[in-house]
Amino acid sequence: MNRPITTLFMLMSVDGKISTGASDELDVDQNFPGIDGLKEGLHQYYEIEQTTDLWSLNTGRVQAKLGVNDKPMPSKTPVSFVLIDNSHLTEHGIKYFCELSKQFVLITTNKNHPAFKVEAENLGIIFQEEFILEKALEELKNQYGCERITIQSGGTMNGIFLRNKLFDYVDIVVAPVLVGGKDISTLIDGESITSVDELNKLGVMKLIDCEKLEDSYIRLKYKITR
């Protein structure tokens, strides 16, 4: 395989929502800690997160929503971060991830992205005239030595991974809540399937573990075979 092995790792509601609302002011990380019935078991998700791959992929939009463009500089971690972004991260946000990461790689089609103004030994930029996710993953492996990577992006980017058959594993923590709302982001958003043939080509999900956690949380792990 000429790309990293990928695992989608997310926290979602029972009905598949990965946000608490349709606006950027509402977010699982910000809201769940204050909700009775959810806050008690939430720590388990973050504890599991600490055991995931040492390469992590996300999007600039998600990170901007979490406030990285304004946060004080963090301490260094052993994790290498990859962000896909064209316009959401500022120069401060880029420097934040350079401080946080062992290796920080930005994937962008914006030739004027603020990252090009930042000088840091651990900063790598994958520039593409046209965004092609599979080629970006291949470059991550061949140029940066990324063998395994955990995906924690938003529903739209997750949809691009799925449609391009780029998920190898799915590792989901399910919180005991129903959110509802057709405009709220789900685990997989983006382009919709229009035929059974398309669905059949996405692969077969084999359950490899099902764990009942504390406080009515559960963890589901699947391997995708093709």
Q: What is the pTM of this model?
A: 0.95
Which residues, 6 or more positions from 86, have their beta carbon under 8 angstroms from its beta carbon? Answer: 60, 108, 109, 110, 113
Question: By the 8 A CB rule, do 176 and 38 touch?
Answer: yes
Residues 133-165 have pLDDT tens digits of 999 999 999 999 999 999 999 999 999 999 999
Q: How confident is the model at residue 193 (pLDDT cuts 50, 70, 90)?
A: confident
Task: Give the model's pLDDT for residue 27.
Answer: 87
Residue-range definition of the domain harbouring residue 24: 5-225
Asked if the model's pLDDT at residue 25 lies above 90, the reply is no
| CATH number of 166's domain | 3.40.430.10
pLDDT at 18 (0 to 100): 96
Number of domains within the chain: 1
DSSP string, 74-95: ----S-EEEEE-SSS--HHHHH
When pLDDT is cut at 50, 70 and 90, the band that residue 19 belongs to is very high
The stretch 23-50 carries a mean pLDDT of: 94
Q: Where would I find the H helices in 32-175?
A: 43-49, 60-65, 91-100, 133-144, 155-163
* Alpha-carbon span 66 to 80, nearest angstrom: 18
